[in-house]
Structure 1
Amino acid sequence: MEFKDYYQILGVSPDAETSDIKTAYRKLARKFHPDLNPGEEAEAKFKEVAEAWEVLKDPERRAEYDELRQYGGRQREFRPPPGWQSASGAGAEQFSGDFSDFFNSIFGGGFQHREREWSGGFRAGGQDVEIEMPVFLEETIHDARKPVEYEIPVIENGQLHYQRKSLKVTIPAGVADGERIRVKGQGAPGSGGGPAGDLYLHVRLVPHPVFDVEGHNLLVTVPVAPWEAALGAKVVVPTLDGKISLTVAPNSQSGQKLRVRGKGLAGKGGRGDLFAVLKVVMPPGAAAGTTELWQQLAEKAAFDPRAEWSKHS
């Protein structure tokens, strides 16, 4: 039995990332798709590419294969090592399809997610579609219904074209940046009655003009006038749920944080907190008479904000 080099079949290096392997598989699967390339040669090549992807996409099966590759790649006539048994749980009962003797000798099965009936016609699952989904912070605190438009590859009369598709999807509360949401059956249609592929949404949180994100907590910078910091004040602060009133204590410092519980982003353990960061700001210009008042304050306060430096110099 001939040893199959799945990396060579897909044209990738043995240390390639799964994303690169997936890209190579999709390119070759489209190139040799039986609907686009009638004939036994293209069909055989398509099956070989699909077999390589079935092994290399799964971390456990790939690790097993890499171990056998070190063992079997040097043999003219491949035989699994004595006592070999797949540890990935890929038994024959999990698979349906028509894969090579080499594959069956290692994993004992066929194709798990792409069903094919080679006698009586071709049957294959549709291609998955992956798109980025921008989500506003305000949309993460409750379940949100959002419209989505994307294109799916469709084969008709042996010709490949792209069809626009629109639907509304539910973005669950607490969704995080980089999270992947699966919408089953909304990818490309299958062939020969095969199941449709899936739609995968990659969440990208849209930067907010007011809030910064730290995990499930939010930070908002709150400008305060010098006299508000000195005397104390009530200030109105925005949150994702609306505005609230905060108390700035007398003699507050710039950079001081005021914590508001439960006004951050949603998470599995509940909502995070909002931290209001005080920032003392000066008036844009000196109004008539204010310079003299500042001068009087400076003389009366006799305050040196850099006094600590003298202790270390």
Structure 2
Amino acid sequence: MKYKDYYETLGVSRDADLDQIKKAYRKLARTYHPDMSKAPDAEGRFKEVAEAYATLKDTAKRAAYDELGHPPAGAEFAPPPQWRQDFSADGSAFDDLDLADLLASLGRGQRGAASASMPRKGRDYESAVTITLTDARRGSTMNLTLADAAGERTLEVTIPPGVRQDQKLRLRGKGGKGHNGAPDGDIYLHIALAPHAVFRPDGLDLYFDLALAPWEAALGAEVEVPTLAGPVLLTVPAGTRSGQKLRLRGRGLAEGSSDIYAIIHIEVPTTLTDPERALYLELARISHFNPRKVAPKENPR
């Protein structure tokens, strides 16, 4: 039997806590998921990551794995002699198992005989998907490839409208098969939002930068701006300042209950025609506006 270093596979220390293990798994699962990676070894790496996580997230399996010590990865080893007595009914049940099967078999021999007929919920699995902002707003259907003890299977998954970055969806009954009448396990799907050319998500709200000419900001204007459902007209009030936020209600990731915010940037022309220069000079002559004048502070009472 060859030793597999699950800590090394996930890139965590041997004293890592469960949160660190989950974080490492999610990152690697997104990197090597066959639907997201073009690397030739992505599918194999994805299976290795899933196998390592399945062991280290389970307290009992992790403790049993740690009992094996720390041989070099790929080294031949045999399980401790007491395991044959404790977990194997005939003393030879481990001979043809690899490490993953060995750890999965814990509790199926004499130590688990008393509970063998008890109902046991199916195993839960975790996976990650990356979707566009448009699909996050309107919902989508996609195929999810899952690697588990039964091999690879493909599920059709419905992403509901209005999901956000790092949200976790629970797919009830789509995990491992239950035993002795217990329910099947679940799949927990971690949502990642793909970068967008215009919008930056913050929760269910969206932000983007809107450039205005000085006269649009000073006089007010109607400007066309993008949304995930198509362009709309935004009213810019007179006297709009750089850095100000203008809101488009109900047009965020959750339709009707989240918003889009336009962050104002006032752009100054870098070259001027003679008539434009003359107008700016006239404005400078007649205007009393001083952007560097500090408003007086109220006296504290």
**TM-score bucket of the superposed structures, by smaller chain:** 0.5 to 0.7
Match of 1:264 in 2: 252
Rounded Cα–Cα distance in structure 2 between residues aligned with 1:30 and 1:196: 25
Question: In the alignment, does 2:27 pair up with 1:41?
Answer: no
- Checking the alignment, whether the CA contact within 8 Å between 2:87 and 2:106 is kept in structure 1 is no
What secondary structure sits across from 2:252 in the alignment? coil
Q: Which structure has the highest strand share of the two?
A: 1
Cα-Cα RMSD: 4.4
Rounded Cα–Cα distance in structure 1 between residues aligned with 2:87 and 2:281: 88
Per-residue deviation, residues 265-284 of structure 1 (Å, max 9, x unmatched): 218xx511222232211224
What secondary structure sits across from 2:239 in the alignment? coil
What secondary structure sits across from 2:281 in the alignment? helix
Match of 2:277 in 1: 291
1:46: Cα distance to partner?
7.1
Distance 1:168 1:26, change over 3 A: farther
- Checking the alignment, whether the CA contact within 8 Å between 2:87 and 2:107 is kept in structure 1 is no
Rounded Cα–Cα distance in structure 1 between residues aligned with 2:245 and 2:103: 61
Rounded Cα–Cα distance in structure 2 between residues aligned with 1:186 and 1:30: 27
Tell me which amino acid in the other structure corresponds to 1:298: A
Match of 1:276 in 2: 262
Question: In the alignment, does 2:219 pair up with 1:231?
Answer: yes
Rounded Cα–Cα distance in structure 1 between residues aligned with 2:293 and 2:234: 31
Match of 1:246 in 2: 234
Match of 1:131 in 2: 127
What secondary structure sits across from 2:284 in the alignment? helix
Rounded Cα–Cα distance in structure 1 between residues aligned with 2:64 and 2:121: 12
Distance 1:274 1:165, change over 3 A: same
What secondary structure sits across from 2:127 in the alignment? strand
1:170: Cα distance to partner?
0.8
**TM-score (normalizing by structure 2):** 0.58
- Checking the alignment, whether the CA contact within 8 Å between 2:242 and 2:266 is kept in structure 1 is yes
1:223: Cα distance to partner?
0.8
Tell me which amino acid in the other structure corresponds to 2:86: E
**Residue of structure 2 aligned with 1:203, choices 187, 191, 196:** 191
Rounded Cα–Cα distance in structure 1 between residues aligned with 2:289 and 2:104: 81
**TM-score (normalizing by structure 1):** 0.56
Greater Rg by CA: 1
What secondary structure sits across from 1:219 in the alignment? strand
1:207: Cα distance to partner?
3.6
1:171: Cα distance to partner?
1.1
Tell me which amino acid in the other structure corresponds to 2:57: K
Unaligned runs of 5+ in 1: 1-11, 52-97, 101-109, 155-162
**Residue of structure 1 aligned with 2:175, choices 157, 163, 187:** 187
Per-residue deviation, residues 113-160 of structure 1 (Å, max 9, x unmatched): xxx339xxxx96653321112232222333321222232233xxxxxx
Question: In the alignment, does 2:57 pair up with 1:22?
Answer: yes
Match of 1:146 in 2: 142
Match of 1:303 in 2: 289
What secondary structure sits across from 1:242 in the alignment? coil
Rounded Cα–Cα distance in structure 2 between residues aligned with 1:26 and 1:146: 32
Rounded Cα–Cα distance in structure 1 between residues aligned with 2:270 and 2:285: 23
What secondary structure sits across from 2:241 in the alignment? coil
Per-residue deviation, residues 91-115 of structure 1 (Å, max 9, x unmatched): xxxxxxx869xxxxxxxxx86xxxx
The alignment of Structure 1 onto Structure 2 pairs a total of residues equal to 224
Q: Which runs of 4+ in 1 moved over 4 A?
A: 15-21, 26-32, 37-40, 43-51, 123-126, 188-196, 309-312
Rounded Cα–Cα distance in structure 2 between residues aligned with 1:18 and 1:218: 28
